[in-house]
Structure formats: structure tokens, C-alpha cells
Copies of this chain bind each other. A is one copy, B any other.
């Protein structure tokens, strides 16, 4: 084992995700009234929200924009020193955008883009949530009262990003952020990397890169919020249906990640997942799970198929590419989550 570098632990976890929405009021309705999140702060053009189990003051930011999509994706580091180390390393890649004062509830922040163009940030100082009296839980170790409003998601979990070149972005996440690769889908005898799932912690994945078949850049496939039990996901489906929210797929179980999923579109157009299940990865020398076309199938463990929109649609939406050359044309349907 000589020469094998030790695992890097500089990134602690996904800190927050900013979503862009052309219908900010309706998007707030979706996250607050349907998913049951709490609005903790608003400023010009943005609302800041949280799940009852998130320890930080805010984990979701909704920002008015002309088109839907993902804004800044923020990662918390494990220490101030880790922040310095990561910023320095990213700076060398030429993808850095420099330091800023930090968004609401955050200290000094270093911003950069991943190779596909998604805006990201790292920071260490974080304002923890202090619930006002009416939102204080009777459980001392719960940051906020469980209100029993709608789906009542607990916390943010992960996101999936489209990428023109999955391998390049996956490598960036491994080498610059220190993420561990958990599973990937390789087509055409291992030559085409269709999707890769990575994480900085035992959580199965906090980010996935999946092939953008339309050739866009910086696009979002979906953003995912956690509930504790599969029954909560089933209940969520009832609540979404009663509220007229479009359900694209699920509830069902992916083979890859073993995640129990439910995908809907928030009014702004972004694909949102209510999620549970999956599995924790503790092995420091985890053997990456590789799926080929046949093993991957439709991505649904119990059979059935995901709708075509699940492969084609992301935010912002872009026109379909010109007629695809042969290799792309033969690419089977796959399921990036």
C-alpha cells in the first residue's frame, strides 16, 4: 500500500443549494406549503429556507430568475485549514473565482466553477439555526419543531448535475474536493461514462454527474430532499397529487444507490426529489460499483421504466441537439439521479 495517498476529509458536507426560478412566489409555496420547509430570511430577489432537521440556519435559497436552474452550490469544509487548502488547490486549476464575504449566515467563501460550468462555493463559518420560540422543538436535539405541515422534509440530501463530460467533472470532484466515487454507469464496454455518484461522507452520494445528452452546460438534473421513512415518500406522493403538482416518476426504488425516489417539478420548473432509503458507505477503500447497459436497465429496481423526460429534461431547458451522430443514437435510455 506504499504510496497510496490517505483519504481527504476536507469537505464535510453539502451546505446549501440555490435554485433559480421564474415563478418565485409559486416556488416558495411549493417548498414551504407543500414540502413543509421554513422560510428563515428574505432579501432582494431571494428567499432562504430550511428543513426542520438541518442544523444550519439555511440550506435552500430560491432566487428569482428568467429561467429555472441551479445557482450556487455550497460545500462546508471540515475546518478553516481545510478551507484554505481546498481554495489553494482549486485556484491552481484556473477554475477559481476568488473569495467573497459569504452569503446570509456564512463566513468567508471561496467560489469556483466545476469543469461543466456549475457555480460552486466552499466555506467554513456557518450560522447555526436558533429557533424562535414558536418553532422550538420539544426535542432538545432537534433544531426546529416538526410541524407536520405537508411533506415536511427533514433536510437537504444531494443533487444531480448534467455534464457534457462526466469523467472530467467526476475527476474534479474526486481530486479537488476529495469526494469518494461510489457508483458509476459505463456504456459501450466501459468507454462512455454516463453517470457517476460521489460523496464527501458516508452518505451514499451528495452529488451526481450525469451525461447531458443535449450538450448544454451548467444544467441541473434534480435536487433532493430527505425524509426518514419510505412511508413518508408515499405520503408525499398523495400530498403532491392533491396539490396538483406534476409527478414525473415514483415513488419507486432505483437499482443504482438503492434510493427510494419521488420526482416532481416545482412550479419554477426544476426537478425536485423527495428521497429516502439508499445506504451508507463506511469503507475507506470502497470498491466502486460499475453498471453496464444491461445491468443498469431502466434504473428501476422493481421493473418498469422511467419516462423519457427523465433523461431529456433538465433546467434550464435547452433545445434538442442537431441529429445525433451514430454513437449517441445508439445510446440506450438511462436514469441519472
Contact = CB atoms under 8 A, between A and B. Distances in A.
Contacts of A139: 241, 255, 258, 301
Interface in A145-162: 145-151, 154
Given A77-B284, A231-B232, A238-B253, 20 more contacts: A1-B80, A4-B80, A6-B78, A53-B279, A55-B282, A55-B286, A76-B282, A78-B284, A138-B241, A141-B255, A145-B242, A148-B235, A148-B242, A149-B149, A203-B280, A230-B231, A232-B235, A234-B253, A241-B302, A251-B251
A276 to B, nearest CB: 8
In the A-B complex, list the 5 residue pairs whose CB atoms are closest, starting with the nearest.
A231-B231, A13-B282, A148-B239, A9-B9, A247-B303
A140 B196 CA distance: 15
A323 B241 CA distance: 38
Interface of A: 1, 4, 6-7, 9, 12-13, 53, 55-56, 76-82, 126, 128, 137-142, 145-151, 154, 183, 201-203, 228-232, 234-235, 237-242, 244, 246-253, 255-258, 260, 277, 279-287, 289, 291, 295, 301-304, 307
Contacts of A151: 148
A256 B202 contact: no
A80 B1 CA distance: 8
Nearest to A285: B126
Contacts of A137: 242
A8 to B, nearest CB: 9
A126 B1 CA distance: 13
Contact of A283 (B12, B231, B239, B260): B12
Nearest to A34: B148
Contacts of A230: 228-229, 231, 234
B291 A244 contact: no
